[in-house]
Amino acid sequence: EPEVTQTPSHQVTQMGQEVILRCVPISNHLYFYWYRQILGQKVEFLVSFYNNEISEKSEIFDDQFSVERPDGSNFTLKIRSTKLEDSAMYFCASSEDRGAPDTQYFGPGTRLTVL
Amino acid sequence: AQSVTQLGSHVSVSEGALVLLRCNYSSSVPPYLFWYVQYPNQGLQLLLKYTSAATLVKGINGFEAEFKKSETSFHLTKPSAHMSDAAEYFCAVSGSAGNMLTFGGGTRLMVKP
């Protein structure tokens, strides 16, 4: 069964450093998403991406964040200058765009630890 | 604006007992509702979704949920809990295709032998 994959599973970085989290969505999917979950808190939407542009973003997704689909398979989330409060589990998801309600399929997550 | 409230961050049941996980939502548009399950060290897996075709929705692993508009609820149930059901369960709402999911805080289900 096709699945969303994410690398790395765990990333440790120093405050102020740039990180890139990588995702490979399911191959025929057209919508891509990033969510995050700070330890002990809700899963929060960050951004959705469709047709090579951002479709929707939350207030969390400020200028420190960017997304890119550099080739036909990868979808990345970049954090330019990490802060302690960026420590969280980051989930990538994708959906087919078959009409509402569209099922989003999630990857296993990348745990980001900012020291 | 949409929001989801899951009553009970932890629920403990005995094996074979009824599982009831509560979810209430608010939405300014007709909602699409989802239940996801997360097993340790894994991603979120879809259990079931409300498509407006039927108010009682059946999902995988024997779970089902009933959409009650008057109560703005979408509670998840399973008649008989198995040890393998122990996981974290998330209720979520979205407004349309390709739209963001708004999640509840999650409920950790523990199943006692």
Q: Identify from A26, A104, A111 which residue to disrupt to test chain B contact, counting B C-beta atoms within 10 A and taking the largest count.
A: A104
Distance CA A87, CA A12 (A): 9
A61 — contact with chain B (CB < 8 Å)? no
What is the identity of the amino acid at B35? Answer: W
What pLDDT sits at residue B107?
Answer: 97
Instruction: Tell me the chain A residues in contact with residue B103 when contact means C-beta distances shorter than 8 Å.
Output: 35, 42-44
Number of H helices, E strands in chain A: 0, 11
Helix ranges restricted to H, A1-115: none
What pLDDT sits at residue B51?
Answer: 78
DSSP symbol at B35: E
The tokens describing B81, both together, are: 């809990």
Nearest chain A residue to B35, by CA: A103
For A106, which of B44, B50, B106 is closest by C-beta distance? B44
Whether A51 has a pLDDT exceeding 70, the answer reads yes
Distance CA A20, CA B5 (A): 32
DSSP symbol at A85: G
Instruction: Pick out chain B residues at pLDDT < 70.
Output: 96-98
Nearest chain B residue to A111, by CA: B41
DSSP symbol at A103: P
What pLDDT sits at residue A100?
Answer: 65
